[in-house]
Structure formats: C-alpha cells, structure tokens
Amino acid sequence: MNELTRRQLMKSGVALSTLATLGTLLPQAALALDELTVIAPAAPGGGWDQTARSIQEVLQTSGIVKAVQVDNVPGAGGTVGLAQFANSKGDASKLLVGGLVMVGAILTNKSPVTLKDVTPLARLTGEYEVVVVPAASELNSMADLVAKLKADPGSVSWGGGSAGGTDHILCGLIAKAGGADVTKVNYIAFSGGGEALAAIVGGHVTAGVSGIGEFEAQIKAGELRALAISSPERLPGLDAPTLMEQGLDVELANWRGIFAAGELADGDRQALLDVIDQMVKSDGWKNILSTRGWMDVYLAGDDFASYLTAEDERITAILKEIGLVS
Amino acid sequence: MDTLAALLNGFAIAFTPANLLWSLLGVTLGTAIGVLPGIGPALTIALLLPVTFHLDPTAAFIIFGGLYYGAMYGSSTTSILLNTPGETGSIVTAIDGHMMAKKGRAAAALATAAIGSFVAGTIATVGLSFVSPLMVKIALLFGPAEYFSLMILAFVTVSALLGDSTLRGMSSLFIGLAIGLIGIDTQTGQARFTFGLLPLLDGIDVVVVAVGLFALGEAFHVAYRLARAPDELSRVTGSLWMSKSDWSRSWKPWLRGTAIGFPLGSLPAGGTEIPTFLSYLTEKRLSKKPEEFGQGAIEAVAGPEAANNAAVAGVLVPLLSFGLPTSATAAILLAAFQQYGLQPGPMLFSANSTLVWALIASLYLGNFMLLVLNLPLVGLWAKLLLIPRPYLYGGILMFSMLGVFSLNNAVFDLWLLLGIGVVGFLMRQMDYPVAPLVVGLILGPLAEGQFRRAYAIAQGDVSVFFTQPISLALLLVAALCVLGPVILRRMRR
C-alpha cells in the first residue's frame, strides 16, 4: 500500500511539474465522484493506446463518466501492465485494455499473472489480418503460396510484427491448415509496422502479414497484392478473397477488449458492464469505429469470458506447434 | 515548378497570424519536453491528440511539426550544459559539448548547435519537399542485410568515441553490448537475462542508461570532489558568441552532418542516433586536430547536432510519401493523420496537397522560430552554469529522476537509474569513457536483430552480406575506415 501511494504521489508530481503546460490545454472536467482510469499496457501510438484514448474520449464527451484518465504502462506485450493491474484487486475505478496479443504474450513470456487474475468485461473491436506479397511477386493466390510452402517451408519468409504476436500466429495457422511443416515456418519478426512494411514492399521477404489497416493504403496504391484476408466473409472496400474460400480453414481477428480488476464485487462488475454497454451503443463510439476502421465485435460478460477460454486454448496449441511455447 | 508554387501556397497558409501562434506554441512545448529526459515528442503528441482534434488539421500539424523540431533543440541544450541528453539523438553532443561548457565555452557550443540545427533543418526540409519520392525508392532497397552492414559501419565509428585507451573503450563498449542483450529476443520472443524480473522483459531503456551514466555519474563525481575541495565557480571566459574560428570550424560540419543525417533518417530503420555517430566519426577523421575530440572540439558539436535535426526531417520522408512510420513519433503522427481521415502515402500529396505543403512550410517556419527563440537565450542559458554546484546538481538529479520515471511510470526504473549512476561514477573515477557503453547498447540489439533477419531470410547463407551490392559497399566503406588510416600511415613512412 505504502508503495502504491508513493507511486501515485510521484505520478501526480510528474504530472504537475512537467506537464503543467499541457495540463492547461486539456479539457478540464468538473470534480466528480465517478472517475475512471484506463490503463493502456503499451506505449503511446499503438492499438491499445488508441483504444484506451478512444474509450476516454467517448466516455467523457458523452458524459457517461465525468473524468477518465489514460495511463500508459508499456512493456512485454502488455504483461507488464497486466502484472501491475493485477495488484488492484477489487478496485472498480480502474480498467485495463488488452487483447489477442496479450493472450500470446502471457504464454511466450511465461507471465506469472494471467487473464484469470482479472475480470473480463467485453471484447470491443477487432481487426482482421491480410496476407500480402509485393506487386512484383510471382505468387498470385494462396494456392501458389501454400504450394511453395509445402515444397520448402523455409523458402517462404514471412514478414510481420513481434514474435508470438497475431501475425506470427496467423502464419502458423496457415501453414498448419495448408499441410506444411509448422515447425519450419520461417517467420521474420520486425519491430514496428513501418519496418515490416518497408521490407515487404522492398521485396526483402516473400510475404507479409499484418492488420488490414497497416497495409490498406499500399494495397490500394498497387504496391502490394492482397492474397487473402482472415475474416469469415469478404470485406467491403477491399478486393481480396478470404482464406476460407481458398480452402484454408483459418479465421483470425486481432481483437481488443477491456478488463476490470480481479475479485470484483458483483455490483461493481455490473456497473462497469453497464458503462461499457452504454459506451458501445453511443454515436461517438460508432464514429470512432468507422474512422479508425475497426470492426465492431462487441461481446460482453460471461460470453466474453467463455470466448476467452476457447481462444486461450487455440493460441496455446498453435504456439506450441510453432515451438515458441513448450 | 509545380512543387515551388505549391510550397509558396503552403507558406501563405502557414504565415497567417493564428498559424504563427500555433507554431510558436509547438516549438515552445517541444523545447520544454526536449529538455526533460524521458518525455519525448511521441508521448506529448499522444497527450495532445484529444485536444488538437478540435482544431483544423493544418493547425494541429503545425503544432506537431514545431514540437518535433523543438524537442531536438531542447535536448541539445541540456546535453551541453548539464551533460544530460534529453533524447537519444543528442548523446554524442554531450561528449564534446559538455567539455566546451566546462571550459567556459557553453555559449559557443549552444550557438553552433542552434545554428547547425537550423541550417540542417532548413536544407533537410528542402530535401523533404523535392526529393521525397526518390528517397523512398532508395530506402526500400535497404533490407536486413543492408541494415546489418550499415550497423557495422556505425560500429566502426565507435573507435572514434573510444577515448585515449582502446582497452578501456572496448571494455565500456562490451558492457553496453551485454546490457543490450537483456530482454525479450525479437526473433523468438524468449526472455534473456531477465532473472524472472518482469520490468526487465523489454530490456533496459537507453534513456535510463544515458541519463544514469552522464547526468548521475557526473553529479556523483562533482559531489565527491566538492566534499574534498571548495567549489570554484565556473568561469565564462572568452567571447560569449562564436568567434571567427568557431564559424570557420563549424560550417563544414553543419553541411556534412546534414548530408549524413537526412538520407539515414529517411531509412525505415535509420533513426536519429546512427547519423550522429557517423557524423562524429567523419569530423574526427577529417579534423586536423583529432586530439581535441573528447576535450571540447566544436566540430564534434556542430556535426552531430546538424545530423540529428536533418534525420528528424528525414523521418518525415517515408511517413508523408509512403505512409511508413519509422519512429515512435512518426507512428503517432500517422495515427493523428488517420484521426482526420487522412491516409499518408503515395496519394497524400495529390489528395491533400494543401495540407502537406502547409505542414512542410510550417516546418521551415518552426525552424526559423527556434533559431530566433534560442539564439538570444544562449547567453542566458550559459549563465545557468553560474549556479553554485550543490544547487545545480541537486536540480539535475531531480530532473533526471522525473524524466526517467515518466518513461514507464515505474519505480523500478529509478532504482535502475541509481545503480547505473553509481556505475557511471566508478567509470569516471577509473577513467573509463561512458559513451561507448551507450553506443553498444543502442547498436547491439539493432545489429543482432538485422543480422538474424538477414540470416533467416537467406536460410543460413552468410554470403548474403557480400553478394548484395549495397551491403557490400557499406562493408567496404567500413573496412576503409579501419584500414585507411593504417595504410596512409604506412605510406607516409
């Protein structure tokens, strides 16, 4: 406890002294009882940070919660933030953003704290993945890619985000569904979407895997060719077939959701579920989803909890096959 | 000529009174955050996004542009005066810049940094306007193999930073390389040397190490000395302003720094640090008095400072013309573009040309404003050193801790900072240079990652580094840097 109060004191000290100039610019909310802190377990700029800040914006502007603060606790696929969050058991004033990447990171990092230590509230947004090749590539369909993969798995280098993340998982699932040797998947992890994108467009890797949003502009400009998307059905505005229609039984969404502290009182849990429910149904939220290109995959409460269990099993299985988790 | 007309139009937009004020706000805020280690432009822009969303996009990007450049200015000021680099791009500046300050030449160091930054920023912004599409094409030729060879070239520059004793310098470098191994391995996602400590999974932040070694190490050293001998006030000797010889020794490094910084900054994995190392090496190699390097050579401030500012403009090249974010700040700028429904990329220049050119024009403007703001303040900043040491270093300690804490909001980082500070103090006592350690920490993980990517893509064929023309050329330049002086010496004999 002592540790915690000291930390909060220092934090407010930092906020006051270093960001005093910024503070005066931020919209000043009136003093209110209902305050909420949303923890983004990542550095500013990434998907979790954007999700947290979108939640902040909608909750505040629609008046559902008077004051919402976003705290960045970056590190290790979100497990650093998760571990810190697990300490605030029973505290209904804090929420944590998380998602599929965290499920994978908990496994690969052998994190002592898991999503069982927190209370799942809702799955909010999802982004499907796309498999691309450079425009000059001789591969024209998933069939071509899978044939190459089956002949020599190592000859297909896949460029994507961090090892064990959504992109890596999709490569494993595709290799498995296509009947290639999953343990030989030649996955090249890049730090940051920009670096991966440059390597793919520049033709330094065979294929690229990432969220649709990261490649969309280059696909439309004709720099990249989309071979497949990981959604159950085709998506409007993108001329690409699904993995399913090309005979690969794979579906994967990089979902992001919101969690509350562990050991929460039933009343508190219901109150937070109501807050989230109101937010998801607001116009502000719908606007954000459309500008950001996020899919609405809202799934709340017990349904989300059982989805999480199933997802955990699927991800554990594929990471074991790839060889990242023993 | 289309470009020129569009640019002039951009200036017309940027020069409205309201936009001038936004630019002023941006550069002032930027300078403030640059001064603080830990708080960088990425975090600040993220914090500002909800507010600036209510402004029109042009005004918002004018603020962001000013902020980005301003941070680099602010960071070099603290590097020179307090030996506390606020951003990683000005670590090299601290070496000779702070030596100059100690010798009473703080004003000249600050002036050459400010003017060099202005010159580099201006040239690089011109480059951004006219050669962006070409630069992107070149940047795309760089794959993992080419990057690894570039890192090798950067490693060669370490020899320029080693100081008097090669053995001590190499020891320092290898400590940095070892620290760089801590954390999650990028290619397999497995933890290395973390001893089960969660905060170590992402490795040790370069800012924590740099601030610990430079600022805390220095503060402990001064405290240790003051306990034995009374404080002698820092003298501000000589002219406050740059002398004639300072000018003649500065202008070439400015231009060379720009030429190194801009292209490297526009590479997707270039960053702002490597150009500063390469610039330092270039200046030391070309200097007639290489022995002055490390003792307060003005070239060693002028070159790297120009290089880091040019690199900042370079980062905008792939972002604007390709939608490719190559740094944390660029990534958040991309998010900002998307918030306004704009998609940076090949189409941005044609679809939203007014906005893009206004942004580019406001970058010129921000640069100019920073020069106007900073030059008159140079004398004032330099007076900071007249503050009695106990207060000054007390302030530095406070400053460093605030900055490092704000990095991850983690108390763990403060303990780490303290530990590294003690290491820095001991290294100073025993006359080990600290710069190679920081360089090793920055370059080590980068080089390892690129090497393993290239190795995996080539399926274990090491010859890939010699068969790719760009990679081979970079390795040859690196070899020339090492062997060239030796051969020259032989020939002279």
C-alpha–C-alpha distance, residues A215 and B488, integer Å:
50
Residue B280 pLDDT greater than 50, yes or no: yes
* Interchain pair A217, B406: CB under 8 A: no
Contact list in B for residue A218 (CB cut-off 8 A) is 322-323, 345
- pTM, 2 dp: 0.76
The pLDDT score that the predictor gives to residue A280 is 86
The pLDDT score that the predictor gives to residue A2 is 42
Arithmetic mean of pLDDT, B15-27? 86
A17: closest chain B residue by CA: B402
C-alpha–C-alpha distance, residues B269 and B274, integer Å:
10
Domains within chain A, CATH numbers bracketed: 34-125+254-310 (3.40.190.150), 127-246 (3.40.190.10)
CB contacts < 8 Å between A and B, how many?
179
Q: How confident is the model at residue A207 (pLDDT cuts 50, 70, 90)?
A: very high
C-alpha–C-alpha distance, residues B433 and A123, integer Å:
52
The pLDDT score that the predictor gives to residue A15 is 43
Residue A206 pLDDT greater than 90, yes or no: yes
Contact list in B for residue A44 (CB cut-off 8 A) is 42-43, 45-47, 328, 332
* Interchain pair B459, A79: CB under 8 A: no
Residue A11 pLDDT greater than 60, yes or no: no
C-alpha–C-alpha distance, residues B141 and B118, integer Å:
30
**Contact of B210 with B88, CB cutoff 8 Å:** yes
Q: How confident is the model at residue B163 (pLDDT cuts 50, 70, 90)?
A: low
Residue A17 pLDDT greater than 70, yes or no: no
Least confident residue range of B119-123, B197-201, B425-429, B473-477: B197-201
Pick from B453, B459, B464 the residue to mutate for testing the A interface (most A CBs within 10 Å).
B453
The pLDDT score that the predictor gives to residue B99 is 85
From A79, A163, A198, residue closest to B324, measured CB to CB: A198
Arithmetic mean of pLDDT, B180-186? 84
**% of chain A exceeding 70 in pLDDT:** 87
Residue A184 pLDDT greater than 80, yes or no: yes
In chain B, positions 109-138, which contact chain A (CB-CB < 8 Å)? none
Arithmetic mean of pLDDT, A256-272? 85
B199: closest chain A residue by CA: A80
**Contact of B257 with B307, CB cutoff 8 Å:** yes
Strand, helix or coil for residue A42: coil
Of A1-15, A297-311, B40-54, give the range with the top mean pLDDT: A297-311
* Interchain pair B459, A155: CB under 8 A: yes
A158: closest chain B residue by CA: B457
Q: Choose between B205 and A310: higher pLDDT.
A: A310
Q: How confident is the model at residue B433 (pLDDT cuts 50, 70, 90)?
A: confident
The pLDDT score that the predictor gives to residue B288 is 83
Arithmetic mean of pLDDT, B413-439? 89
Contact list in B for residue A53 (CB cut-off 8 A) is 46, 49-50
DSSP A76: G
**% of chain A exceeding 90 in pLDDT:** 12
Q: What angle do CA B62, A24, A16 make, to 5 degrees?
A: 115
**% of chain B exceeding 90 in pLDDT:** 8
Query: Per-residue pLDDT tens for A66-124?
Result: 778 887 777 777 777 888 888 887 788 888 998 888 888 888 777 777 888 888 989 98
* Interchain pair B184, A195: CB under 8 A: no
- Whether chain A has a CB inside 8 Å of the CB on B332: the answer is yes
* Interchain pair B332, A57: CB under 8 A: no
Give the distance from residue A105's alpha carbon to the nearest chain B alpha carbon, in angstroms. Answer: 8
Q: Choose between B421 and A165: higher pLDDT.
A: B421
B464: closest chain A residue by CA: A204
Domain-by-domain residue ranges, chain B?
2-492
φ and ψ at residue A13, rounded to 5 degrees: -60, -45
Give the distance from residue A303's alpha carbon to the nearest chain B alpha carbon, in angstroms. Answer: 30
The pLDDT score that the predictor gives to residue B347 is 63
**Contact of A157 with A259, CB cutoff 8 Å:** no
- Whether chain A has a CB inside 8 Å of the CB on B141: the answer is yes
Residue B83 pLDDT greater than 60, yes or no: yes
Q: Which amino acid is at A28?
A: Q
- Whether chain A has a CB inside 8 Å of the CB on B29: the answer is yes
ipTM score above 0.90: no
Q: Choose between B401 and B343: higher pLDDT.
A: B401
Arithmetic mean of pLDDT, B404-424? 87
Contact list in A for residue B191 (CB cut-off 8 A) is 109-110
**% of chain B exceeding 70 in pLDDT:** 89
The pLDDT score that the predictor gives to residue A61 is 80
Residue B59 pLDDT greater than 80, yes or no: yes
- Whether chain A has a CB inside 8 Å of the CB on B194: the answer is no
Pairing of strands A119-134, A253-260: antiparallel
Structure tokens at B115: 């003017």
Query: Per-residue pLDDT tens for B203-232?
Result: 888 778 888 888 888 888 888 887 776 655
- Burial label for B460, CB within 10 Å (0-12, 13-18, 19+), is exposed
The pLDDT score that the predictor gives to residue B232 is 53
Give the distance from residue B243's alpha carbon to the nearest chain A alpha carbon, in angstroms. Answer: 36
Query: Per-residue pLDDT tens for B128-156?
Result: 877 777 777 777 888 889 888 888 887 87
Q: What angle do CA B69, B72, B77 make, to 5 degrees?
A: 130
Q: Round the average pLDDT of chain A to a whole number and report it.
A: 80
Residue B452 pLDDT greater than 80, yes or no: yes
C-alpha–C-alpha distance, residues A120 and A303, integer Å:
10
From A111, A201, A205, residue closest to B140, measured CB to CB: A201
Arithmetic mean of pLDDT, A233-242? 86
Least confident residue range of A31-45, A272-286, B190-204, B248-262: A31-45
Q: How confident is the model at residue A38 (pLDDT cuts 50, 70, 90)?
A: confident
The pLDDT score that the predictor gives to residue A77 is 77
Using alpha carbons, list the distances in angstroms from residue A301 to A51, A113, A117, A259: 19, 21, 15, 10
The pLDDT score that the predictor gives to residue B179 is 92
- Burial label for A245, CB within 10 Å (0-12, 13-18, 19+), is exposed
Residue A19 pLDDT greater than 50, yes or no: no
**Contact of A119 with A258, CB cutoff 8 Å:** no
Taking the CA atoms of A132, A135, A140 and A143 in sequence, report the sign of the dihedral they define: negative
Of A186-190, B65-69, B361-365, B419-423, give the range with the top mean pLDDT: B419-423
C-alpha–C-alpha distance, residues B188 and B185, integer Å:
6
